[in-house]
């Protein structure tokens, strides 16, 4: 997204609605969110170690320039997660808010923390990042203590620089201590994933009375592009030879396709079946043709199996068995 410099602070919501006449709201993930978050250089330190929930490096990294990469296993769907999580991480590490880059929604760099989680994303995802940041600060202070020949209790941190309380000239920055390398610290993981994931370290987070960054109003840089229709969403993507697709799901959780009659959509121009193991879908050159193909495709499904029922956010505990399993067709 291009940063908007047009003054908009005097534009009220009422004025916006009167000027625009109406707002059309589309739910989707901005595809250029990394520009807003300024994470283009977040991986300059090289390849990240394999992801494991019990490793501190799975959540926090100090880049060679002293900036912080925070890896969140959730996505921001308009809640402002990247601001709130950034504040929490900056608070616990004692670095400026602008020094933190929150990288989210990428399964290659973040552990599974259960998706966006709607309005509860901050409280469910933030707890782990807060604990990880607190542990990162503890480790960095101990590293500085060993290098400076002082006790950890004799040190404090200001804007990412560890220094002696009695002599500020005795100091080491986070970048000097570990910048460009990853932590090798094991956390106490509770063996859970999704929203239940919790892996604290030895450090305790700050008391709320000590907060200087959390709770402060910080402008969200994604608002202006949305208001002025300059944000790019997934529906704005146009690629050469791009086709439209629709997923086809069973009527009962746990069923998988066992027989697909591709001839049932032969009369729809360009419609094709995509069948990979348990995944089934259709693609077509035109979106309406893909919709029609998804409706018309004849599929025979397997009986549902309890072992394959989803187990996300407790939904499996509320799944009911509707009589004996029988093959399903559509």
Domain boundaries, the chain: 31-221, 239-329
pLDDT at 323 over 50: no
| CATH architecture, range 31-221 | 2-Layer Sandwich (3.30)
pLDDT value of position 119: 76
pTM passes above 0.85: no
* Residue 124 pLDDT exceeds 50: yes
What's the whole-number average pLDDT of the chain?
A: 80
Is residue 277 predicted with pLDDT exceeding 80?
A: yes
Tokens linked to 257: 């396709």
Residue 78, pLDDT score: 80
Residue 133 has pLDDT above 80, yes or no: yes
CA dist 314 and 325 (Å) reads 23
State how far the Cα of 33 lies from the Cα of 28, in Å rounded to an integer: 12
Does pLDDT of 19 surpass 80?
no
In angstroms, the CA 298 to CA 167 distance is 76
Per the structure block, which two tokens stand in for 316? Answer: 């499996």
End-to-end CA distance of the chain: 43
Class of domain 239-329: alpha beta
For the stretch 38-86, pLDDT in tens is 333 333 344 567 789 999 999 999 998 999 999 999 888 888 888 999 9
238-273 pLDDT per residue, tens:
888 889 999 999 999 889 999 999 999 999 999 999
List 157's β-bridge partners, or say none. 162
Q: Give yes or no for residue 31 having a pLDDT over 80.
A: no
């Amino acid at each position: 997204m291009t940063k908007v410099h047009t003054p908009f602070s005097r534009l009220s919501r009422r004025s916006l609605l009167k000027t625009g006449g109406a707002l059309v709201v589309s739910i989707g993930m901005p595809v250029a969110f990394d520009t807003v978050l300024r994470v283009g250089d977040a991986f300059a330190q090289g390849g990240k170690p394999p992801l494991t929930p019990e490793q501190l490096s799975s959540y926090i990294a100090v880049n060679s320039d002293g900036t912080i990469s925070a890896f969140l296993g959730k996505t921001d769907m308009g809640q402002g997660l990247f601001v709130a999580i950034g504040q929490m991480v900056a608070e616990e590490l004692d670095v400026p808010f602008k020094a933190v880059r929150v990288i989210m929604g990428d399964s290659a760099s973040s552990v599974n923390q259960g998706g966006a989680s709607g309005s509860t994303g901050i409280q469910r995802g933030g707890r782990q990042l807060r604990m990880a940041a607190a542990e990162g600060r503890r480790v960095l202070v101990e590293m500085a203590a060993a290098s400076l020949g002082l006790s950890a209790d004799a040190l404090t941190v200001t804007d990412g620089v560890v220094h002696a309380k009695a002599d500020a000239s005795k100091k080491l920055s986070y970048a000097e201590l570990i910048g460009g390398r990853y932590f090798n610290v094991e956390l106490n993981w509770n063996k859970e994933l999704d929203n239940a994931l919790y892996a604290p370290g030895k450090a305790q987070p700050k008391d709320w009375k000590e907060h200087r960054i959390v709770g402060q109003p910080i402008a969200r840089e994604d608002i202006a592009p949305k208001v002025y229709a300059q944000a790019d969403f997934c529906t704005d993507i146009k690629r050469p030879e791009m086709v439209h697709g629709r997923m086809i799901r069973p009527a009962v959780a746990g069923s998988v396709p066992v027989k697909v009659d591709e001839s049932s959509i032969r009369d729809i121009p360009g419609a094709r079946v995509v069948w990979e193991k348990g995944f089934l879908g259709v693609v077509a050159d035109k979106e309406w043709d893909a919709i029609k193909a998804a409706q018309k495709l004849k599929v025979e499904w397997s009986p549902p199996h309890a072992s394959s029922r989803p187990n996300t956010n407790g939904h499996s505990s509320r799944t009911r068995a509707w009589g004996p399993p029988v093959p399903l067709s559509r």
